[in-house]
Amino acid sequence: MSGYVGAQHEFHDANFVRGWANRFVPTRDRLKLFDMISEQISQPSLPNAHVVELGIGPGYMARHLLERNPVISYEGLDFSEVFFEIAKETIGDLMHRVTLTKADLMNQAWPKKLSKTPGAIISTWALHDLGSQQAVADVYVRCYETLPKGGVLANGDFIKPEGTTWQYEPGRFEIGLHFELLRNAGFSHPISLAHLEPNIEDPKASENYACIFAVR
Ligand SMILES: C[S@@+](CC[C@H](N)C(=O)[O-])C[C@H]1O[C@@H](n2cnc3c(N)ncnc32)[C@H](O)[C@@H]1O
């Protein structure tokens, strides 16, 4: 069996965004991904406790991480005002530890918008939406430039699994290629901590995501 894996989004449309947030309340596997990222950002070796999330969306991971890591400050970057409104509702009483920063990841000046230097840059289910390997490669380079030595990058995003006969949208590509792009950006030992909701035979658009991790 074969087919196409991808999705169309309207990230500036209030109805679409509200529907997306309701449809994708975190599953058990997605919560596992959040926990893996939580463990990485709580390492004492991190240069500082400021965490930047690229594509914060409805704020599900933000809330999860803020509850479990009382010392971190959090910055959610996104280009969608409507997602910011939902993120504020999700994060609720913890918003005093959060800065929301409006920026477009396709504009290479996005790091200049950050409120301070992060010790960790994290993201889930977002970078594939930039639509190409080159766009993801550019984000990796900007992250390498932005992080101080010892800073970490965790990208829990959709991948094209090895051995598939399905076609994937251009932003979803093999883990090995992510590693190559990370090494080209300057990260020396990128790894994948997990392949979640794996499905080679009959994949849905919300399956097959990895937890890709690298240290500056
Ligand atoms: C599929 S949603 C995932 C949201 C969230 N990270 C999660 O896992 O629930 C993708 C997010 O990336 C944001 N995004 C997509 N393209 C972007 C861009 N060029 N610049 C900034 N944010 C972008 C969208 O607005 C949206 O919040």
| Digit-coded pLDDT (tens) for 120-150 | 999 999 999 999 999 999 999 999 999 999 9
186 Cβ contact list (under 8 Å, min separation 6): 141, 144, 216
Q: Ligand 1: list residues with CB < 6 Å.
A: 11, 24, 55, 57-58, 60, 78-80, 83, 104-106, 124-126, 129-130
What pLDDT shows up at residue 8?
A: 85
209 with 175: CB under 8 angstroms? no
Could you name the CATH architecture of 4-215? Answer: 3-Layer(aba) Sandwich (3.40)
pLDDT band (50, 70, 90) for residue 9:
confident
Q: Spell out the domain ranges in the chain.
A: 4-215
Q: How far is it, in rounded angstroms, from Cα 136 to Cα 142? A: 10
Using the structure block, give the residue that is written with the tokens 């006969």: 165
Express each pLDDT in 38-55 by its tens digit.
999 999 999 999 999 999
Section 160-178 average pLDDT: 96
Q: Tell how far the Cα of 78 is from the centroid of ligand 1, in angstroms.
A: 6
Express each pLDDT in 96-125 by its tens digit.
999 999 999 999 999 999 999 999 999 999
29 Cβ contact list (under 8 Å, min separation 6): 196, 197
Find the Cα–Cα–Cα–Cα dihedral 180, 139, 27, 92, rounded to 10°.
Answer: 150
Q: Tell how far the Cα of 154 is from the centroid of ligand 1, in angstroms.
A: 15
